[in-house]
Chain A
Amino acid sequence: MNSGSCSSLMDVGYDHHHHHGHEELHVLAVDDNLIDRKLVEKLLKISSCKVTTAENAIRALEYLGLGDQNQHIDTLANNDLKVNLIITDYCMPGMTGFELLKKVKQESSYLKEVPVVIMSSENIPTRINKCLASGAQMFMQKPLKLSDVEKLKCHLMNCRS
């Protein structure tokens, strides 16, 4: 059914109960700023993504089963919790988004192939290049707009097909 084109955002309703099945992207959004977390969550939900948020990189790694204790949460084997995209802020206390990117990319599991998008309020070319060179799918300038998420989805759909 998915021809690779973007679904119109106007057509897609925000519906808790309707499962798009494997077409629905499950996104892990990481940001230490509450307002930004709320914004990115809404942007993604409006674009019919399932969203899980984390307030820092450590929590994100724990969710992905890469926590310090290396817990292998059984439910991660369940497709419902598999993450299709990680979108993370660059500047975060403790572990940065860049460090999170590197940790995910050095995994041998399916996680290595999960696209990681870095967001930042600052437009620093060396930072952007560093992220892209380390395997980031895309770099997005904050503050995020609806059109940014539309572009992101198109980019990901094209990469998948």
Chain B
Amino acid sequence: MDTLVAQLQRQFRDYTISLYHQGFLDDQFTELKKLQDECSPDFVAEVVSLFFEDCEKLIGNMARALDQTGNVDFNLVGSSVHQLKGSSSSVGAKRVKGLCITFKECCDSQNFEGCVRCLQQVDIEYKSLKAKLQDLFNLEQQIVQAGGRIPQVDI
């Protein structure tokens, strides 16, 4: 008979693996976890939180720039995309990063419809990742509260 801790740990393991396999996360996220220790037990959560705040801010900037009908500054949009691409790459947000690559191409070719589409997709994608990571962090918390240790998951 499985204990609650064992069940939660299995859920955590399975969920983590699925996030990697479905391409939400890549091995840079694994690198982030390596930096978490007793001295900074919330490092990953903190960085990830900063990342999502950054997403919101940059997407806002891009939306405003794209809203200037007839006078869109594609360089401005492009530089925000560049920032977002950098951040997403640094935290292992694989899908967001992938979208940024396409988005940058649309900026460079001044493809307005393409940019608008990419913006919508990036917005959906970062919010989706945010929800999933929240679920993951919640599982971690439940494991700890049930007296267990968070398992190391090898992808």
Contact = CB atoms under 8 A, between A and B. Distances in A.
Interface in B48-89: 50-51, 54, 79, 82-83, 85-87, 89
Contact of B50 (A13, A34, A142): A34
Interface residues of A, number: 19
Contacts of A13: 39
Most buried by A among B34, B46, B54, B86: B86
B28 A33 contact: no
A34 B47 CA distance: 9
A144 B89 CA distance: 10
Nearest to A35: B87
B35 interface: yes
Interface residues of B, number: 24
B37 interface: yes
Nearest to B36: A42
A143 interface: yes
A69 B51 CA distance: 35
B20 interface: no
Contact of B51 (A35, A46, A93, A146): A35
A140 interface: no
B149 to A, nearest CB: 18
B86 A33 contact: yes
Task: Identify which of A33, A35, A38, A146 gathers the most chain B CB atoms within 10 Å of its CB.
Answer: A35
Interface string B131-150: 00000000000000000000
A152 interface: no
A145 interface: yes
Nearest to B83: A33
Given A35-B51, A35-B54, A46 B87 contact: no
Contacts of B54: 34-35
Nearest to B26: A143
B15 interface: no
Given A35-B50, A146-B34, A121 B87 contact: no
A43 interface: yes
Interface in B7-53: 28, 31-32, 34-35, 37, 39-40, 43, 46-47, 50-51
Interface of A: 13-14, 33-36, 38-39, 42-43, 46, 91, 93, 121, 142-146
Interface of B: 28, 31-32, 34-35, 37, 39-40, 43, 46-47, 50-51, 54, 79, 82-83, 85-87, 89-92
10 contacts: A35-B50, A35-B54, A35-B87, A35-B91, A36-B86, A38-B50, A39-B47, A42-B43, A43-B35, A93-B79
